[in-house]
Each structure stands twice: as structure tokens, then as C-alpha cells.
Amino acid sequence: MDEHMQRRLDKQKKLFNQLGIHLDALSIHEKAFSNKLRGYDPDEVDTFLDLVIKDYERFYATIADLMDKWQEQQIVMRDIKAGAAHETVTMPKIDPTQIEDIVLQMELNLKQLRSKLRPEQDFYIE
């Protein structure tokens, strides 16, 4: 097994231990069952365990990704809190007369558009 894979498996084992999960992909892969006279088909068991291993690897990747995102969010939250302590956010002031002018201009534009369209009365919703 190469060094990168070993580090990945060690990291996976550490995370699983923290979460109280006892099995990891490698331990499932390396599990050997004894043969009995009327036991299960070893190929069928291996095929099933391969599916379990793939699921464990997906679970690990998802958990690791979510933990990374959580840590990033914690850093952002810390920075926001630190920034909020140093500066106050000022909201831009809105002049009510500007809003009235904008609304009037929009109404005028709407009337102009209506006059350019077909002049049928039932076409418009008032």
C-alpha cells in the first residue's frame, strides 16, 4: 500500500474513532471468515463486502467534506464577529422622495408601453 493511501486510511480511522464508528474500509476488506461445511458462498460475501467498503468510503468523503465546510464557516463567523466589534455597518439612507420619483417614472413607462401595444381593453389587468 502506498504512503498516500496509508495516510488517507489513518485519517479515516481517526475520524471514525472520534465518531464512535468501529469499522473502516480497510478492516472490512481485510476481514477473513472461516469456512464451514454449509457456509456462505465466499464470492458472494466478498462482492457484498466490496459494496459495503464503497459505501464507507463515500460516507468518509461526505463526512470529511462537511467537516471542512463547517470549519470554514466557523472561521468566517469568527472573522465576522471580530469585524463587527471593530466597525459598525452603516446602512445607506434612502430618500423617500427618490422612491416616489422612481415609482412615478415606472408608472409613466408602463403607460407608454401599454399605448404601444394593442389597445384592447380586456388585454390589460388593472
pTM greater than 0.75:
no
Residue 74 is predicted with a pLDDT of 92
Q: Half-sphere exposure of 8 toward its Cβ, with a 13 Å CA cutoff?
A: 10
Residue 79 is predicted with a pLDDT of 87
Which one, of 82, 67, 63, lies nearest residue 24 by Cα?
63
10-residue mean pLDDT series, the chain (126 residues): 81 81 80 80 87 87 88 90 67 77 84 68 52
The interaxial angle of helices 3-19 and 42-86, nearest 10 deg, is 80
Q: Are 49 and 29 in contact (CB under 8 A)?
A: yes
76's grid cell: 468566517
Q: Are 17 and 48 in contact (CB under 8 A)?
A: no
Residue 73 is predicted with a pLDDT of 93
